Structure 1
Amino acid sequence: MDTLTRIRAFIDVVDAEGFSAAARRIGKSKALLSKYVRELEDELGALLLNRTTRQFSLTEAGHTYYRTASEILKEIDNLADLVRANNSDLRGRLRITVPRTFVDAEIGQSLIDFGKQHPELSLEIVSDDRFVDLVEEGFDVAIRITRLEDSTLIARKLDDFQLLVCASPHFLAKAGPFAHPTDLAHVPCILDTNGRSYSNWRFIEPDGSPFTVSVSGPIEVNSPLAAARAAVTGIGIAVLPDFIARPKILSGELVTLFEEFLPKDRGIYAIYPHRRYLPTKVRTFVDFLHGWFRKSQ
């Protein structure tokens, strides 16, 4: 029995959060996986997992070993992908973390279209609005809607993105007109709590000076789709992602405000760890999304 097989067994168990779940996922017996992990611990002379009948957890040594071993195995797998790069067949699993807003909006169709075009590749799409640690949590790639900041990760821009201030024509007829974004501090606003500063909306003066406006209102919700519905009903003013607001703007259900004051420093990005060998499946996925957004414009 080689060490690599034991390491894979250990990582499978940790990823599945238990021996039974790992056995079901990869089609091996629980007893065999337990044997492999025990042999790995014997080889290392260290306990990696705390095992009881009800609980499962990593020891301090286990945490350290898992992080490094995961990266080593990924490099081995990525090197194999590189050798197979001229082969049109993609194999294995691609783990993607994506904001719920992206998945639920029309642009989420891009993920479905990729899966349809590459049925031989197993996609695991995890919808999560937090910024996950790709390396720590074992993801191959992330889709992020954000301002790009310095990072050890690699980013490729897929499309432009902007937040829009929107309200229904009925609300504006009742509460307007508004001359400057600071007027928003005195009217009901719908707050999407997904934003880092959801109650302090960012703007830029024509001379480039940034400023914020503190807002409040009758509804706080962690869903831009729900915020859009609330704005359509005339409850208040909302800041919405452009790909959610545009259809309702085109239909006349919403109108935009203060576009000349809105920052234009955000984008939709594919983010992936900096590795020596970029997996073919990651490169293929990112290239597909980049092309998908170009065609959809």
Structure 2
Amino acid sequence: MDVMQSMAVFRRVAEAGSFSAVARETAMSQSSVSKHIAALEERLGTKLLNRSTRQLNLTEAGKEYYHYCVRILNDFQEAEASVGKGKILPTGTLRLSSTAPFGRKFIIPMLGDFLNKYPDINIDYLMEDRYIDLVKQGVDLAIRVGPLQDSSLIARKIGSSRRIVVANSAYLIKHGFPKTPADLAKHECLIYSLLKSPRDWFFSSTQHGDESVRVSGRFKASSQEALVEAALSGLGIAILCDWHAEEHLQRGRLTLLLKNYALSPYDINAVYPERRFVPQKVKRFIDHLRVHLNQRDPLMAHQG
């Protein structure tokens, strides 16, 4: 039995969590899928999967072997694409992750064009509003906006996201409009807990230069979407990515504050596990997304 094929089957079983799902995806019988796994276990002399009638889990050896399989299969695809000088289109499943708001706004709208351009790529998309372990989850590529949490990953900047200060009218009628950053110290501010110094807000302006203010507030969250909802509910003043607040500003549900002051933008990063070769499917997706960001707003896209 071909070892590379068995490794590919094992990888999909590990990611899908069942033999039946892989059988449907590959048009193989479940018994054929099982034979590939059995052949690998016999070859390695160890059990890779714990199976029961209801669930399937990787053993410790299986977890370690899975990471080797991902690396080897990706390197194999990269070698074919490289030697073929771009003539071989990328193939396989791209396991992708981003937050739900960014995905709805930017990734889902561009997937049709991407999949039409690369018909042999499948997308397995994890929309998570929390940071996930890319290696443990078998994720090929994550798109992350703002501060990065894991320095062991490779990050490639593909764009920038402007940030703005907003609140809803009910809050402002009750508590007043801040006219300078210093005024924020008297307000309920909504805290983004993923920042290193979440209560220190930094501004700049042509007239006043750089300013910082220590804010306070009774609500903090690790999700930008939670901050949006809190601002809409009148809980306080928030700093949001402009695209996050765009629709609410247009409909009058939020009000833009401190228009003469700027905040440093958030980087938009393509993040992937460290490896010697970056798979073609990952490279092509990053390039496609950068073009899409540039078409939507040239100020968002990072060239290079």
TM-score (norm 2): 0.79
* C-alpha contact 1:97 1:142 (8 A) present in aligned 2: yes
Aligned to 1:50: 50
The residue aligned with 2:218 is 216
Q: 1:227-266 residue pairs with structure 2 within 5 A?
A: 227-228=227-228, 231-232=231-232, 234=234, 236-250=236-250, 252-258=252-258, 263-264=263-264, 266=266
SS in 1 for 2:101: helix
Q: Does the 8 Å CA contact 1:79/1:279 hold for their aligned counterparts?
A: no
CA 1:190–1:198 in 2, change beyond 3 Å: closer, same or farther?
farther
Kept in 2: contact 1:103–1:127 (CA 8 A): yes
Separation in 2 of the partners of 1:152 and 1:79?
24
Q: Distance in 1 between matches of 2:279 and 2:49?
A: 30
Report matched runs for 1:101-112 at 5 Å.
Answer: 101-105=101-105, 108-112=108-112
Residue 284 of structure 1 is matched in structure 2 by 284
Counterpart position of 1:203? 201
Q: How far apart are the structure 1 equivalents of 2:78 and 2:24?
A: 25
1:67 maps to amino acid: H
Q: 1:15 to 1:241 in 2, by over 3 A?
A: same
- Residue 215 of structure 1 aligns with an amino acid whose one-letter code is G
Q: Give the letter for the 2:2 counterpart.
A: D
Give the root-mean-square deviation of aligned CA atoms: 3.4
Determine if contact 1:134/1:140 at 8 Å carries over to the other structure. Answer: yes
Q: Is the 8 A contact 1:199 1:214 kept in 2?
A: no
Assess, with a 3 A threshold, how the Cα gap between structure 1 residues 211 and 168 changes in structure 2: closer, same or farther.
Answer: closer
* CA–CA distance in structure 2, aligned partners of residues 56 and 293 of structure 1: 39
Gaps of 5+ in 2: 298-304
In the aligned structure 2, how far is the partner of 1:209 from the partner of 1:118? Answer: 48
- 1:147 matched to which residue of 2? 147
CA deviations over 1:7-46 (Å, ceiling 9, x no partner): 2232222122122232222221222222222222222222
Distance 1:37 1:116 in 2: 33
**How has the CA–CA distance of structure 1 residues 68 and 117 changed in structure 2, closer, same or farther, with 3 Å as cutoff?**
closer
User: What is the number of equivalent residue pairs in this alignment?
Assistant: 293
Identity among equivalent positions (%) equals: 34
Distance in 2 between the 1:129 and 1:241 partners?
15
In structure 2, C-alpha distance between the alignment counterparts of 1:43 and 1:66, rounded to whole Å: 15
Gaps of 5+ in 1: none
Partner of 1:293: 293
Report the more deviating stretch, 116-125 or 93-102.
116-125
Q: Secondary structure at the match of 1:13?
A: helix
Residue identity matched to 2:50:
N
Q: Contact 1:200–1:212 (CA<8 Å) still a contact in 2?
A: no
Residues 1:40 and 2:18 are matched in the alignment: no
Shift of 1:102: 0.2
1:190 to 1:123, Cα distance in 2 relative to 1, 3 A: same
Tell me, yes or no, if the aligned pair for 2:154 and 2:274 is still in contact at 8 Å. yes
Q: Deviations over 1:176-211 (max 9, x none)?
A: 13355565465455567xx52599444126675766
CA 1:150 to 1:185, structure 2 compared with 1: closer, same or farther past 3 Å?
A: same
Question: Match of 2:300?
Answer: none
